[in-house]
């Protein structure tokens, strides 16, 4: 019995960890195959609550809403026949949808809408919307007074200037787990050595790589991938504003194209904007000119919308090779990874997201979350509180680096 109790105590002591001590970092790995491993606890996200309109609005695919604990936002997705894609008709449909959504649910703070052409609609990665808009309740009457000839007076509306074309590159749906380098064993070892050097001494300015912030700093970079999103971005903006925290958002270019007003909102709120490719494609194996176009077009779009020079890039899925690093460096981009990925995109539950984040939380660390992950919103406030309790400050990559 005494031996059993002694063994139990040893086991418990082995499981106990000082909360200020983070677990060892996963090393850069070699490819495991086309599909990255699924994080433990994978499950579908809880269904978003729906707003029912009566009578139904023809073409309405979904009208969902969500709260961040302080405000509610809704997003309506409407499919429009090609015969009705005139600007006047699109505006009228958007106004109907917004007005009816507010009438159906009085607690909404903002209603965002995306109108797509019904023919050829392919969801994420397909043709861009025909019209998008974001309407806070305080601006509802202003939005309803809009006419086709004065659309430019409303700064949170985008009308697609081009014919919607089918995507030329298939978007990657790989969620990030561990940075994955595709190259020779010697090149992989060099990346692992660099990663360890950054962990011990901080990033090397001019190296084109950013694995870890300065380890002696109390600053932790808070980053969000896959921005911007018509339902989640307004809620994230509100939550971060309430917490007084700035973050780095890695933008998908096609999302920024369709929702440019959210890009400007992020910049005006003091957040840092970074590059996550235009189509969210897996870059390894693509021709060099395609890799360059994916990065350059996103850089140019962000700079045109905000005037901000883009400094950081993160490859979708964390998949990269020597060509990707070289092209990014030639475009003035530092390729940034992470130390702390709770796999929020795999919907493990808000409490699991918090516990996983805290497990790897460290001075100079880099947290990877997603702009479009439903369970991140309720986890964010707890992550902020726990980080502050440990004397850590959540901030942008640039602020952490001090560059």
Q: Is 265 assigned a catalytic role?
A: no
Residues 155 and 185 placed together within one structural domain of the fold: no
This prediction's pTM = 0.90
Residue 261 lies in a domain: yes
Q: What's the CA gap between 268 and 271, in Å, rounded?
A: 7
Residues 145 and 184 placed together within one structural domain of the fold: no
**In whole angstroms, how far apart are CA 232 and each of 37, 68, 263, 297, 398?**
26, 9, 13, 24, 24
Residues 230 and 346 placed together within one structural domain of the fold: yes
C-alpha 60: how far from chain center: 26
Nearest to 292 by CA among 336, 256, 249, 332: 332
393 beta partners: 219
Dihedral in degrees, nearest 10, Cα atoms 371, 328, 362, 341: 40
- 150: CATH: 3.10.310
Neighbours of 340 (CB within 10 A): 24
Q: Give me the pLDDT at residue 176, please.
A: 58
Last-in-domain residue among 159, 191, 225: 159
Residue 192 lies in a domain: yes
**In sequence order, which residues have a C-beta less than 8 Å from that of residue 333 and are 6 or more positions away?**
208, 275, 295, 299, 310, 311, 312, 313
pLDDT band at 209 (very low <50, low <70, confident <90, very high): very high
Q: What's the CA gap between 398 and 187, in Å, rounded?
A: 27
pLDDT band at 200 (very low <50, low <70, confident <90, very high): very high
Catalytic residue among 112, 225, 238, 321: 225
Angle at 264 between CA 258 and CA 265, to 5 degrees: 105
Q: Give me the pLDDT at residue 207, please.
A: 87
Residues 184 and 97 placed together within one structural domain of the fold: no
Residue 116 lies in domain: 60-159
Residues 149 and 191 placed together within one structural domain of the fold: no
Residues 99 and 146 placed together within one structural domain of the fold: yes
Mean pLDDT of the chain: 90
Catalytic residue among 229, 321, 370, 371: 370
Neighbours of 171 (CB within 10 A): 19
pLDDT, average across residues 148-174: 78
Residue 73 lies in a domain: yes
Residues 141 and 204 placed together within one structural domain of the fold: no
Q: What's the CA gap between 112 and 54, in Å, rounded?
A: 19
Residues 129 and 247 placed together within one structural domain of the fold: no
- Whether the upstream peptide bond of residue 55 has omega within 30° of 0, thus cis, is yes
183 beta partners: none
Nearest to 178 by CA among 368, 352, 379: 368
Q: Give me the pLDDT at residue 173, please.
A: 62
Q: What's the CA gap between 198 and 227, in Å, rounded?
A: 27
pLDDT tens readout for residues 57-113: 999 999 999 999 999 999 999 999 999 999 999 999 999 999 999 999 999 999 999
Q: Where are the alpha helices (DSSP H) in 23-139?
A: 87-104
Residue 137 lies in a domain: yes
Residue 327 lies in a domain: yes
Dihedral in degrees, nearest 10, Cα atoms 218, 240, 335, 364: 10
State whether residue 360 is helix, strand or coil: helix
Q: Give me the pLDDT at residue 45, please.
A: 82
Residues 208 and 136 placed together within one structural domain of the fold: no
Q: Is 293 assigned a catalytic role?
A: no
The token duo for 205 is: 């300015």
Nearest to 115 by CA among 134, 91, 131: 131
- 212: CATH: 3.20.20.370
pLDDT band at 118 (very low <50, low <70, confident <90, very high): very high
Residues 92 and 197 placed together within one structural domain of the fold: no
Q: What's the CA gap between 139 and 98, in Å, rounded?
A: 11
pLDDT band at 276 (very low <50, low <70, confident <90, very high): very high
Q: What's the CA gap between 349 and 337, in Å, rounded?
A: 23
Residue 39: pLDDT over 90: no
Residues 297 and 358 placed together within one structural domain of the fold: yes
Residue 174 lies in a domain: no
313 beta partners: 275, 335
Percentage of the chain with pLDDT > 90? Answer: 82
Last-in-domain residue among 107, 130, 159: 159
Residues 349 and 262 placed together within one structural domain of the fold: yes
Q: Give the total number of structural domains in the chain.
A: 2
C-alpha 373: how far from chain center: 8
Residue 253 backbone dihedrals phi, psi, to 5 degrees: -55, -40
Residue 52 lies in a domain: no
Last-in-domain residue among 159, 188, 208: 159
Residue 193 lies in a domain: yes
**Residue 101 and residue 64 in contact, taking contact as beta carbons nearer than 8 Å:** no
């Amino acid at each position: 019995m005494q031996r059993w109790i002694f063994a139990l105590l040893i086991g418990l002591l082995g499981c106990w960890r000082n909360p200020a001590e983070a677990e060892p970092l996963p090393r850069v790995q070699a490819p495991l195959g086309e599909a990255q491993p699924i994080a433990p606890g994978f499950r579908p996200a809880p269904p978003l609550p729906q707003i029912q309109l009566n009578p139904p609005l023809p073409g309405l695919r979904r009208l969902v809403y969500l709260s961040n604990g302080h405000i509610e936002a809704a997003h309506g997705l409407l499919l429009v026949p090609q015969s009705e894609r005139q600007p006047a008709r699109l505006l009228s449909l958007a106004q109907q949808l917004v007005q009816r959504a507010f009438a159906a649910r009085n607690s909404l703070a903002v209603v965002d809408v995306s109108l797509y052409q019904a023919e050829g609609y392919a969801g994420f990665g397909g043709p861009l919307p025909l019209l998008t808009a974001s309407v806070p309740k305080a601006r509802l009457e202003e939005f309803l007074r809009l006419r086709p000839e004065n659309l430019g007076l409303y700064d949170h509306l985008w009308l697609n200037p081009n014919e919607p074309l089918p995507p030329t590159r298939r978007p990657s749906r790989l969620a990030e787990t561990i940075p994955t380098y595709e190259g020779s064993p010697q090149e992989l070892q060099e990346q692992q050595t660099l990663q360890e050097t950054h962990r011990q001494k901080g990033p090397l300015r001019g190296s084109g790589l950013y694995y870890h912030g300065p380890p002696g700093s109390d600053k932790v970079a808070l980053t969000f991938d896959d921005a911007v999103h018509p339902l989640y971005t307004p809620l994230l903006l509100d939550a971060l504003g309430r917490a007084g925290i700035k973050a780095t958002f890695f933008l998908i270019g096609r999302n920024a194209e369709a929702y440019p007003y959210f890009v400007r909102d992020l910049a005006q709120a003091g957040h840092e904007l970074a590059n996550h490719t235009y189509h969210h494609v897996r870059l390894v194996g693509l021709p060099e000119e395609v890799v360059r176009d994916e990065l350059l077009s996103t850089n140019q779009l962000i700079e045109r919308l905000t005037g901000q020079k883009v400094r950081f890039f993160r490859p979708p899925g964390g998949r990269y090779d020597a060509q990707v690093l070289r092209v990014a460096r030639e475009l003035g981009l530092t390729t940034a990874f992470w130390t702390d990925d709770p796999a929020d995109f795999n919907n493990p539950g808000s409490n699991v997201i918090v516990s996983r984040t805290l497990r790897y939380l460290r001075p100079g660390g880099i947290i990877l979350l997603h702009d479009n992950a439903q369970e991140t919103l309720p986890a964010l406030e707890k992550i902020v509180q726990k980080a502050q309790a440990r004397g850590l400050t959540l901030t942008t990559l640039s602020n952490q680096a001090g560059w």
